[in-house]
Amino acid sequence: MARTFNILSSLLLLVILSINSAVSEDILFSGDILNSNEFIENGPYRFIMQSDCNLVLYVNRNRVLWNSATNGRGTSCRATLQNNGNLVILSGTDVVWSSESARGPNDYRLIMQGDGNVVIYGAALWATNTVQSRRRLLAV
């Protein structure tokens, strides 16, 4: 009985590990880096920092949807989501390209969405603070 339990536990662990390894990462958080040949992906979409210093969004790994047009402009380039919301490509300490989306210090995330769009999200910058509960709206 104990042997059967151990075998089943081991099989369950293998299934869980294989599922986790099959799931691709589709998000960068503030401070995260894509080094040369690293990528995030979602379904058929892959956002990759290529070794030629070009940041490229592919669909089906062969059709380019977008690129930073920075190929050959640096060496050992990396894409970094800064904690001000700006996505930059760096070669050493030199900025090769910038998304020009800096908004100030906060927690940001860059998401490779399932619709093929790469988007930087952050906290709300302003609000009227007039949130209405559903119950209150239904009572009016």
Q: Can you give the pTM of this predicted structure? A: 0.72
| CATH number for the segment(s) 27-121 | 2.90.10.10
Dihedral, CA atoms, 115, 121, 126, 127, nearest 10 degrees? 50
Averaged pLDDT, 61-79: 95
Q: Where are the domains of the chain?
A: 27-121
Averaged pLDDT, 90-115: 93
Averaged pLDDT, 63-79: 96
φ, ψ (nearest 5 deg) of residue 104: 115, 165
For residue 34, pLDDT over 60 is answered with yes
Predicted pLDDT at 22 = 36
